[in-house]
Amino acid sequence: MKGRGVSGGALTVINAIATGFGSAFGIGLTTSAEVTLLDEPGVTLTVNGQEADAGFAKGLLEEFKKSFPDIDFAGADVKTTSDIPQSKGLKSSSAAANAILSAAADAAGIKADPIYLVKIGAKASISCGVSVTGAFDDASACMLGGLVFTDNKEMKLLKHTKMPEDYAVVIHLPDGEIPTLAFPKDKFKARSKEVEAAFNKAIAGDVLSAIYENGRCVGESIGIGTVTADKALAANASAAGISGTGPATGILVKKENLASFLDIFEEKNCIITTIRNP
């Protein structure tokens, strides 16, 4: 039984680690998966054509089987392709989980509710140590597109709406990686009142400034501050802030200002993509 699935990436509005409430929006980067369910035990994984550790894929499929016990399989061959950089805060793990679970459902002939698959992935992310909160906010934005607000503790979607599409998305990728579990969560949680205020501002409609305020709390927690976001705003960006646990900075620029922004910003290692709505 073979199936295929796809998921977009996302950028952070509010990181859920501080309060349990998060927000993110879909972008045009993608991860695709092909899953072959097998009668023989064992899970193999290739990522962009290279063999990789299959621990997370195995955890996802174990959680999938718990949720759909009537599906008869013992192992799987999993192949993914992605243009989402890993360990940069761009939701590569959430997108991979969505794509793999969607492909497994396709292979089994199941028409699964997308949010149900997101919840399966969130549970597996916690049990496998891939995520602190289960990243229900990130995975929901990756799966659904648009802008989401979530209660990660209850795995509840609080609000889902479209993002304005008159922005280009610029992502600055500095050197280095920050695995989610290496994030100094205690430092970040100490700023929970600031993060909560940013969440309330965002869900009331002021998403652009909330991106910066959340990013400031993240940046100061990991010791890199807001230098890149400040430079982007000075170059006429509409919003800028560190995404996820960093170190990438997500930047929104009016499409008609993109060329002039890039001339002024002058940072290398940038990805240019789009907002992805439902």
CATH number for position 132: 3.30.230.10
The domain total for the chain is 2
User: Which residues of the chain fall short of a pLDDT of 50?
Assistant: none
Indicate whether 134 and 25 sit together in one domain.
yes
Indicate whether 83 and 119 sit together in one domain.
yes
- Last residue of a domain, which of 140, 161, 182? 161
Looking at residue 197, the DSSP 8-state letter turns out to be: H
> What's residue 87's pLDDT?
84
pTM, entire model = 0.94
Burial 145-161 (b: 16+ CB within 10 A, else e): bbbbbbbbeebebeebe
What is d(CA 171, CA 169) in angstroms, rounded to the nearest whole number? 7
- Last residue of a domain, which of 127, 145, 161? 161
> Residue 136 is part of which domain span?
2-161
Indicate whether 33 and 157 sit together in one domain.
yes
Indicate whether 211 and 147 sit together in one domain.
no
